[in-house]
Amino acid sequence: MQVMTDLFARIFGDGLSSLGLLVAGGLTMALIMALVMASCAIVFTWAERKVAGFIQSRYGPMRVGRWHGVLQPVADMVKILGKEDIVPRDADKPLFMLAPFVIFVGSLMAWAAIPFAPGFIAADLDLGLFYIFAVSSAATIGILMAGWASNNKWSLYGAARGAAQAVSYEIPLALACIPVVMITGSLNMNDIVIAQQGGIWRWHFLHDPFLFVAFLLYFVASIAEVNRGPFDLPETESELVAGYHTEYTGMRFAFFFLAEYANLFLVSCVATAVFLGGWQPLFGPVFLPGLVFVIKAVLLVLLQMWLRWTLPRLRVDQLMHVCWKVMVPLALVCVLGAGIWMLATGQAG
Amino acid sequence: MSQKLVDRLRAEFGERILETGSQHGDESVVVAPADLPDVAAHLKGREACELLLDVVGVDRSELPGHRDDPERFEVVYNLRSLSRNHRLLVKVRAPEGRDVPSLAGLYRSADWAEREVYDLYGVRFRGHPDLRRILCHHEFEGHALRKDYPIERGQFLSAPEKLIQDHEIERAAHRADDSRGAVLPSDLLTVNIGPSHPATHGALRAEVLLDGETIVEARTEIGYLHRCFEKEAEDHTWAQVMPYTDRLNYVSAMLNNCVYCAAVEKLLDAEIPPRARVVRVIVSELSRIIDHLVCVCANLVDLGALTNYWYFYNVREGLYYDVIEPLCGSRLTTNFTRIGGLGYDVFEGFETAIERNLVKLETAIGEVTGLVARNRIFLDRTVGVGAMTPEQALDWGFTGPCLRATGLAYDVRKHAPYDGYETYDFDVPVGTAGDTRDRIMVRIEEMRQSARIIRQALGRGLPAGPILADDPRFALPPKEKVYGSIEGVMNQFKLIMEGARVPAGEAYGFGEGGNGELGFYCVSDGGGRPYRVKVRPPCFPIFSAFGEMVKGLMIPDAVAILGSINIIAGELDR
């Protein structure tokens, strides 16, 4: 946000009070974030279909927009805007209508603390990492609302699964980030990225073996956190019809869809910032930091897509087994191990 | 061997065996209804008839020679011994309104089969645990396959049936008590899986009672796709039934064509030309490959492994577009064979088209097994899920890959070879645990074996000669004769208008279908139309076990099992 307020200060000079600068800067930043989020979701829906097509020996969209169906997402958006907005007769209407926006807002808020480039961060919070985990949990409420309000048994099952999964996998997700916080001594996202200055060997995932494991744990838990294959249990099409969004149509459904892809990018951005050096390049001085950051995050997204189209889905009890009996203990071991490593190598303050 | 079985039965039961018969190689005995349980128990216990394939009802009220017979209905139990490789038809006759003792206590496969006879003929089975309608709607009036039920009489029916009653929910809650604290009836939730649910490929319905995600009770209902195949068959000539058989198991229509023809040819004692025999073997195996491809890929989709779908479906489409469609003009509804041979000869480039696609098939099998065979998630999802012991599987009337997955190497192509299968060198793959993984792996291996058979058949070269038997009784004359001679015109006219006159009698023609033993029990009254055609669809008995298989498992397991037993609603409901 500093960038924006500086920009406005330069444009208007002393014409704006400091409060005015703050408001103008904040609004602009929020707008940019919303646009980034929406556009990345749109780009990723196209990318997902092309990646799936590539893996499944077919083309994916090819017609709209001359080259490889690049305008397909636009066509889909237009189509979905024209769809009837159906609310089931016996649904809990206010909750039903609100749920997609709760999910959307939850993921939008988390974007505020992502450091795309030096100074380019909407809210440079000292508790940035904590804030991200806290607000992205709000999506769970949205899933529960959608499932309960739909008055459909399949939706309810999807919602129950979604809530159980999100609540469970948040634990290894957060635990895996703790070693990084121990090393940098800060929850501030900017500080975490700056601590990784100096080439790939300084990035946190290569800091020590425990951090490497922690990175893998984070990556797996993040897939579960955003409900994607092989952890897409809340919306398993072959079991629960469509899970918690079975009854949704048109734009309301589109918001679920948008939020899913935004979340996908979000967890990849967090992984990039926390483990993969953020905007720091592989070697040498900082160069086009925003682009470097986005490239890293997009590579992670592609990896998640690759996994989704490769692996079968877990069963709901196996999902819990993996979380509580494998990932949580392993994450705790990582925290302990990283602490011992710090003591042994004399990094502990 | 079968003859000796009948003699042994006579020695054992003496006068209680009322009649013995042997037609077209099918041995049969007639017993009084009261003696049926004893005879069946003897056959199961002492003569190793482990498998009750089917129960067939016949309404004899319009059968010549039986018009005034007070014993209007005949119920035929089709028994098979795998270990001793003999088979026997046990018949009982009953007048209108008289009960027949049920064999549901002896063979679980009798449960649904007897329900079907009750539904379509109104024959009541004494001691049957759950004698309800099965194919027709529960509000349906009358019995559709009785000869006095007019074929055009439709009925409007709408009310859905509640499968799990309230008192059963209470009882289930009581039963679930022991495992983890008290369960209240209100803790349990009934959910309908189907008739329209993404995992029920076709219209099936299972009403399940759930405790969390665990299935406490499951009831299945079928009949959503009932198209009165058997009633329609009685209203068409023998040759006109052929296109209807396409719609039974629409995934492997050619297999249905071949087996139906084999049954009618058995009644006619007809020989088919060698070229037609070889082509039938080839198209049967191609259909089997397609059947297994579709089953396995859909099963993997249900498990969430979506990508495998395209790896297999591309091959299936290749086989359809390169081989099946050029062969008969359509992809699914083939209508390819004729009584006495084939409808069309093979096209130029038939061999190369098949070989090209078999290579693709092997690549695809390699890719799919590479993706799933040792994948930890796949194994966790499938190993031990829906496991059946060989005894259970036989009890339920399983045949085909689902039976072979339990470890029993029963294959009609080996046990009762037809169309020259004895001359081909192939293995019968078996599993060990009878679970979902084994069912998938057995199907995958069977595709390799089918490819082997096809390569052998092509390697020998197709025999030269006609594709249709030159027999004016049932085979249409060539066009030159029709246009060139009065005899040809008359022959054509009679065959088309009245149908082939099939000698009176009955025969059970069977073969290895994609999903198990496919059979047609045909009764002819000597006319141009079938008096009775009863399909023995392989997935009917298999699906009857579904409710028991999923009890105590979770919804995702039920979905995995449902995919692996390959239910094709077209042949399930007919």
Give B-chain residues touching A56 at CB under 8 angstroms: 306-307, 309-311
Q: Which residues contact B374 (CB under 8 A, 6 or more apart)?
A: none
Using a CB-CB cut-off of 8 Å, the residues of chain B touching A312 are: 300, 303-305, 372, 375, 377-378, 381
Q: How confident is the model at residue A303 (pLDDT cuts 50, 70, 90)?
A: very high
B373 touches chain A (CB under 8 A): no
Interface residue of A152, A311, A320, A321 to substitute, partner B, most B CBs within 10 Å: A311
Same domain, B200 and B340: no
CA B542 to chain A, closest CA, distance in angstroms equals: 21
Instruction: Give the C-alpha separation, A236 to A308, whole Å.
Output: 13
Any A CB within 8 A of B377 CB: yes
Sheet containing strand B86-94, strands side by side: B17-23, B26-31, B86-94, B73-81, B51-59
Residues B353 and B406 occupy one common structural domain:
yes
In 3D, which of A41, A161, A51, A151 has the Cα closest to residue A95? A151
Looking at residue B530, its amino acid is: P
Which of A56, A58, A153 has the CB atom closest to B189's CB atom?
A: A153
ipTM: 0.82
Is pLDDT larger for residue A40 or for residue B377? B377
Is the CB of residue B301 less than 8 Å away from at least one CB of chain A?
yes
Q: Does B314 touch chain A (CB under 8 A)?
A: yes
Other Cβ atoms closer than 10 A to A125: 17
Report pLDDT for A109. Answer: 82
Domain with A240, as residue range(s), is: 2-345
Check whether residue B258 and residue B394 sit in a common domain: yes
- Cβ-nearest to A315 among B300, B306, B556: B556
Same domain as B272, residue B211: no
A230 and B378 within 8 Å at the Cβ level: the answer is no
Q: Which of A191-205, A236-250, B481-495 has the highest mean pLDDT?
A: B481-495
Nearest residue in B to A153, CA atom: B191
From A33, A223, A210, select the one nearest A109 (Cα to Cα): A33
- From the list B197, B307, B381, the residue facing A315 with the nearest CB is B381
Structure token digits, residue B380: 């966790």
Q: Please indicate, yes or no, if residue B149 is contained in any of the structural domains.
A: no
Residue B130 three-state SS: coil
Query: Which single residue is written with the structure tokens 């049936």?
Result: B161
Least confident of A202-211, A236-245, B298-307: A236-245
Closest by Cα among A252, A257, A260, A262 to A81? A252
pLDDT at site B446: 92
Burial class (CB within 10 angstroms; exposed 0-12, middle 13-18, buried 19+) of A43: middle
Domain identity same for B68 and B180: no
pLDDT for the residue numbered B442? 93
* CATH at B181: 3.30.390
Nearest-by-CA chain B residue for A316: B556
> Cβ of B304 and A241 within 8 Å?
no
Q: What is the pLDDT along chain B (574 residues), one digit of tens a residue?
A: 455 888 888 888 878 888 888 888 888 888 888 888 888 888 888 888 888 989 999 988 888 888 888 888 889 999 888 888 888 889 998 888 888 898 888 898 898 999 999 999 988 888 888 888 888 888 888 888 888 888 888 888 888 777 777 777 777 776 665 555 666 666 778 888 878 888 777 788 888 888 888 888 888 888 888 888 898 889 899 988 999 998 888 888 899 999 999 999 988 888 889 999 999 999 999 999 999 999 999 899 888 888 888 899 889 999 889 999 998 888 888 888 988 888 888 888 888 999 999 999 999 999 899 888 888 899 988 988 888 899 889 999 899 899 999 988 888 888 888 888 889 989 999 988 889 999 999 999 999 999 999 999 998 888 888 888 888 888 888 888 889 899 889 989 988 888 888 888 889 988 898 888 999 999 998 888 899 999 999 989 999 999 888 888 888 898 899 889 888 888 888 8
* Closest CB to B191 among A153, A237, A312: A153
Please check whether residues B83 and B106 belong to one and the same domain: yes
Number of domains in chain B: 3
Residues sharing a CB contact under 8 Å with residue B360, sequence separation 6 or more, in sequence order: B314, B315, B318
Kindly report the nearest CA distance between residue A286 and chain B, in angstroms.
40
B572 Cα to chain A: minimum distance (Å)? 21
Q: Do A239 and B309 touch (CB under 8 A)?
A: no
First-to-final CA distance of chain B: 34
Considering only the beta carbons, identify the residue of A153, A237, A312 that sits closest to B198.
Answer: A237
Residue B51's domain is classified under what CATH number? 3.30.460.80
- Confirm whether B341 is domain-assigned: yes
Question: Alpha-carbon torsion B228, B230, B234, B237, what sign?
Answer: positive
Percent of chain A with pLDDT over 70: 95
Query: Are residues B311 and A314, on separate chains, in Cβ contact within 8 Å?
Result: no
Phi, psi of A126 (to 5 degrees): -70, -25
Residue A274, min C-alpha distance to chain B (Å): 29
Identify whether A61 is preceded by a cis peptide bond (ω within 30 of 0): no
Count of beta carbons in the 10 Å neighbourhood of residue A178:
17
In a domain, B146, yes or no: no
Check if A96 contacts B (Cβ < 8 Å).
no
pLDDT tens, A91-126? 888 888 888 888 888 878 888 888 887 877 777 788
Least confident of A37-41, A340-344, B143-147: A37-41
| Domain total of chain A | 1
Q: State the nearest Cα–Cα gap between A177 and chain B, in angstroms.
A: 26
* pLDDT higher than threshold 60 for residue A67: yes
User: So what's the pLDDT on residue A2?
Assistant: 63
- Give how far A232 is from chain B: nearest CA, Å: 9
Domain extent at residue B10? 2-126
Q: Is A325 on the interface with B (CB under 8 A)?
A: no
| B288 plus B385 within the same structural domain | yes
User: Are the Cβ atoms of B213 and A310 closer than 8 angstroms?
Assistant: no
Residues in chain A within 8 Å Cβ distance of B199: 238-239
Does the beta-carbon distance from A229 to B198 stay under 8 Å? no
**Chain A contact present for B196, CB below 8 A:** no
Chain A, 22 to 81: residues with Cβ < 8 Å from chain B are: 52, 55-58
**pLDDT at residue B361, as a whole number:** 92
SS3 call for B441: helix
Q: Is B47 left (phi over 0), alpha (psi -120 to 50) or beta?
A: alpha
Question: Residues A229, A307: contact at Cβ < 8 Å?
Answer: yes
Helices (H), B320-468: 325-328, 350-372, 376-382, 390-395, 401-404, 412-415, 436-460
Average pLDDT, chain A: 84
Q: Which residue of B has its CA nearest to A160?
A: B212
For residue range A149-195, what is the model confidence (pLDDT) as tens digits? 888 888 888 888 888 888 888 899 999 999 988 888 888 888 888 88
- Residue B375 to residue A58, Cβ atoms within 8 A: no
> Which of residues 250 through 309 in chain A touch B, CB cutoff 8 A?
309
Tell me the C-alpha to C-alpha distance, in Å, between residue A137 and each of A107, A145, A322, B144: 9, 13, 20, 59
Name the minimum distance, in Å, from the CA of A124 to any CA of chain B.
Answer: 40
Cα atoms found within 13 Å of the Cα of residue A332, Cβ hemisphere only: 7
